[in-house]
Amino acid sequence: MYNLNDKVAIVTGAGRKNGIGAAIAEELAKNGVQIVVADICASVSDLPHAGNPGWEELTAVANHLSTYNIQAIPLIVDVTDSASIEKMIAEVKAKFGRLDILVNNAGAAVGPSPVLWMAEAAWRRTLEINATGTFLCCKHALPLMIEGEKWGRIINISSLAATKPKPNVSAYAASKAAVVALTQSLAQEVAEYGITANAILPGDVDTDMKQWGLQLEAWAGGVEKEVVVETAVGKIPLGRLATPTDIAQSVAFLASDQASFITGQILQITGGRELTQ
């Protein structure tokens, strides 16, 4: 356990009960962090994507977090819209007066397909959510973070796709690579304020979004989903998909004082997947 009592965090993309964002929020709550869990709670596009949680699921996540004797506030936020983010930051300031930890987890793979047939709208929307959304949340959260003591943590959730992209996910891979570059540049800019910025690159994580992606691979390859899963797991040296908690525990570490001298780094949580062909 880490001593993060009374720190205040925002975790975006936290509305799925079995998702990475909710697991991150829970791990922070276990360590005494007051949390805003944010999600869009609406469809992000008419193009194919894994879908989003509703308000009921987001509030259920917040209610569960409250069992750790911390305050957990659910907020509907569109990370591609500055006004929506500014409203969230204003609510955090009004409620807590500070912001210590920002976890940019909101992400999507909209309309994945080969570049030859990819809809321009799919490319743009994926980049807007994953790359521009991360940028906007950092931009609007930083003033409140800087107002506080000389301490802060920005943790951006990228993907192994940023460094080991697969076919048919060019927009997703490009957007997640942008998150890596943003993180490394940002880390140098905010160091003077005692704020660190790091990125986590999850590999294959057993979430609704991943299961949707595995099903798409199965359809594209004309095979059963079980075959695709077996192939994916076979390329992971540790022999299993990651759980959302595997990612969350790494976020808690990067948010802690034990990671105070770590910034601008890219942490791959993959079970060794990047080591295989």
Whether 256 is covered by a domain: the verdict is: yes
Give the pLDDT of residue 86: 98
Distances in whole angstroms, Cα of residue 30 to Cα of each of 33, 92, 97: 7, 20, 21
- Please give the sequence-ordered ranges of beta strands (E in DSSP) within 77-137, or none if there are none: 101-104
Whether 1 is covered by a domain: the verdict is: no
> Which is nearest to 268 in space by CA: 126, 134, 132, 164?
164
Q: How many CA within 13 A on the CB side of residue 274?
A: 14
Provide the domain limits for residue 131.
Answer: 8-205+243-269
Supply the pTM of this predicted model: 0.96
Q: What is the DSSP letter of 264?
A: S
Q: List the 101-104 sheet strands across, edge first.
A: 72-76, 34-39, 8-12, 101-104, 152-157, 195-202, 266-269
Mean pLDDT by 10 residues, the chain (277 residues): 94 96 98 98 79 92 98 98 98 98 96 95 97 98 95 98 95 98 98 98 92 82 90 95 97 98 98 93
Give the pLDDT of residue 211: 87
When divided into structural domains, the chain yields a total of 1
Give the pLDDT of residue 148: 85
Give the pLDDT of residue 250: 98
Give the pLDDT of residue 37: 98
Whether 164 is covered by a domain: the verdict is: yes
Structure tokens at 106: 């909101």
Phi-psi region of 223 (alpha: psi -120 to 50; beta: other; left: phi over 0): beta
Whether 2 is covered by a domain: the verdict is: no
The CATH number of whichever domain residue 56 belongs to comes to 3.40.50.720
Structure tokens at 201: 């690159």
Give the pLDDT of residue 215: 86
Residue 222 burial class via C-beta count within 10 angstroms: exposed 0-12, middle 13-18, buried 19 and up: exposed
Whether 219 is covered by a domain: the verdict is: no
Whether 123 is covered by a domain: the verdict is: yes
Active site positions, annotated:
172
Kindly write down the DSSP assignment for every residue of 221-255, as one continuous string: HTS-HHHHHHHHHHTSTTSSPBPHHHHHHHHHHHH
> Which is nearest to 175 in space by CA: 125, 235, 131, 233?
131
Whether 249 is covered by a domain: the verdict is: yes
> Which is nearest to 127 in space by CA: 62, 64, 197, 44?
44
What CA–CA distance (Å, rounded) separates 73 from 84?
A: 16
> Which is nearest to 127 in space by CA: 174, 186, 166, 183?
174
Whether 237 is covered by a domain: the verdict is: no
